Amino acid sequence: MDKHTTQPPWDQVLVDIVDYVNAEPDFSELSYTTARHCLMDTLGCGLEALEYPACRKLLGPVVPGATLAGGAKVPGTGDQLDPVKAAFDIGAMVRWLDFNDTWLAAEWGHPSDNLGGILAVSDWLSRQADTHGQQSLTMRDVLTAMIQAHEIQGCLALENSFNRVGLDHVVLVKVATTAVVSRLLGLSREQQLAALSLAWIDGQSLRTYRHAPNTGSRKSWAAGDATSRGVRLALIAQTGEMGYPTALTAETWGFYDVSFGGQPFAFQRPYGDYVMQNILFKISYPAEFHGQTAAEAAIALHQQLKDQGYSTDDIAQVRIRTHESCIRIIDKQGPLNNPADRDHCVQYMVAVALLFGRLTSADYEDDIAADPRIDALRERIRCVEDPQFTRDYLDPEKRSIANAVHVELHDGEQLDERVIEYPLGHRRRRSEGVPLLEAKFQRNLQRVLTPEAAAAAWSASCDPARLEAMPVRQYVDLYQPLS
């Protein structure tokens, strides 16, 4: 048979992912505990985003009336939708404020973005099973899928930088969602491979909306778009639509040649549960993660300035000693045009922290940004790379995100440099961070849910055995909005 009409073997990268999601889960209790905290934090971030009209306007049926009885519910809203649109809505909510978990490596990203597709599909399948008297998916299934999606996205990110070729990290959300949702939907192995190939040859998002002069709000719904696209491609593959075995490696036309400089992916480790165990939670500050420790240091310096009788007017200059990725991503000068621009500027984060001793989602809005002291202070803040910080950032045993903030005053006084290597949400500070993470979840539950619903969701989420045994639809039903 002619070589051009014979189907070649599936790319090994696709095979490895499918084999991983189909294998009997062998994850540690630490991974399931961390996944439960991730579930709480991710949904809480979505509830907080519902307070922002710019997010709300994107939610709901694609066109008026396009709801679905027995469809997936969007927590904190009254919407019940098809799983593709529900995945978009949940994904957009949890990513909107840049406050959900983070993974930093050669590529960075937010693996909990995949909860959009995972929860929407699991809830829809749970309701369908209930209607037909079948066994429902449980929240244990959701946690397992979360661990798998985190691992797929995170392991692909460890050694492969998509941003360096101009692609946005949400390509990995689409791929991870496609993989785990295909299994949840019960696709055959061949259909799962087809779905993954469709994800890789799909059009991939450019990073245009994350960088000046085009930084904009699409970065807040790009992950929702990606996770919903993963659901859509899995549903297409479920129909028996063909796949493309060398989607990555095909000469000239494959992903590697078209979009990755002709280079194959590199891998640091096999798939397991490493990523979930080492995920970074954003506990204190809704800011791009490379600047988290800088914000924490600046808030400590704010108090020191205050205690010594100084104000930010007395600051001559601020130096941020940092790692290379921070400089590449969030070292910004010049005008910042919107909240999406500001929450990706380390100078803005540090200026607000030094001025007010805080950094909240509201601090990126126009009314706060209009304070002339912020831009005046930004002009006196500069970043310099510390090569050791960069090495420690890439070290798989450390995974630090170090920043050191040094303040020099006009009178010649210099405050002691504040060095923070590991942010509060790091695994090395987990015992310190978990109580604060749970408090964050409680606050977010109370924003848009009825008091009864907030109490019920809190109670169920904090009881591991009860949570894991709950049918997905019962857990999602707890998130009843105030109106």
Per-residue pLDDT of the chain (483 residues; tens, 9 = 90+): 344 568 899 999 999 999 999 999 999 999 999 999 999 999 999 999 999 999 999 999 999 999 999 999 999 999 999 999 999 999 999 999 989 999 988 998 999 999 999 999 999 999 999 999 999 999 999 999 999 999 999 999 999 999 999 999 999 999 999 999 999 999 999 999 999 999 999 999 999 999 889 999 999 999 999 999 999 999 999 999 999 999 999 999 999 999 999 999 999 999 999 999 999 999 988 888 899 999 999 999 999 999 999 999 999 999 999 999 999 989 999 999 999 899 999 999 999 999 999 999 999 999 999 999 999 999 999 999 999 999 999 898 898 999 999 999 999 999 999 999 999 889 999 999 999 999 999 999 999 999 999 999 999 999 999 999 999 999 999 999 997
Burial 206-235 (b: 16+ CB within 10 A, else e): ebebbbeeebebebbbbbbbbbbbbbbbbb
Nearest CA among 416, 418, 474, 477 for reference residue 450: 477
The DSSP call for residue 470 is S
**pLDDT at residue 266, rounded to an integer:** 98
Gap between the Cα atoms of 377 and 424, Å rounded: 25
Count of alpha carbons within 13 angstroms of residue 416, beta-carbon side: 7
**What is the phi/psi pair of residue 471, to 5°?**
-60, 145
Stated pTM of the model: 0.88
Q: Give the number of residues written for the chain.
A: 483
Which pair of structure tokens corresponds to residue 374?
């912020």
Burial 100-128 (b: 16+ CB within 10 A, else e): bbbbbbbbbbbbbbbbbbbbbbbbbbbbe
Gap between the Cα atoms of 297 and 281, Å rounded: 17
From residue 221, give the alpha-carbon distance in Å to each of 48, 65, 225, 264, 290.
Answer: 15, 22, 6, 29, 20
**What is the phi/psi pair of residue 125, to 5°?**
-65, -35
Q: How remote is the C-alpha of 425 from its chain's centroid?
A: 14
Q: Is the peptide bond before 75 cis (omega within 30 degrees of 0)?
A: no
Are 293 and 401 in contact by the 8 Å Cβ rule? The answer is: yes
Count of alpha carbons within 13 angstroms of residue 329, beta-carbon side: 25
For residue 476, the tally of other CB atoms under 10 A from its CB is 27
**pLDDT at residue 478, rounded to an integer:** 98
Query: Using CB atoms within 10 A of its CB, is residue 317 exposed (0-12), middle (13-18) or buried (19+)?
Result: middle
From residue 173, give the alpha-carbon distance in Å to each of 103, 146, 193, 212, 248.
Answer: 12, 12, 16, 23, 17
**What is the phi/psi pair of residue 185, to 5°?**
-75, -10
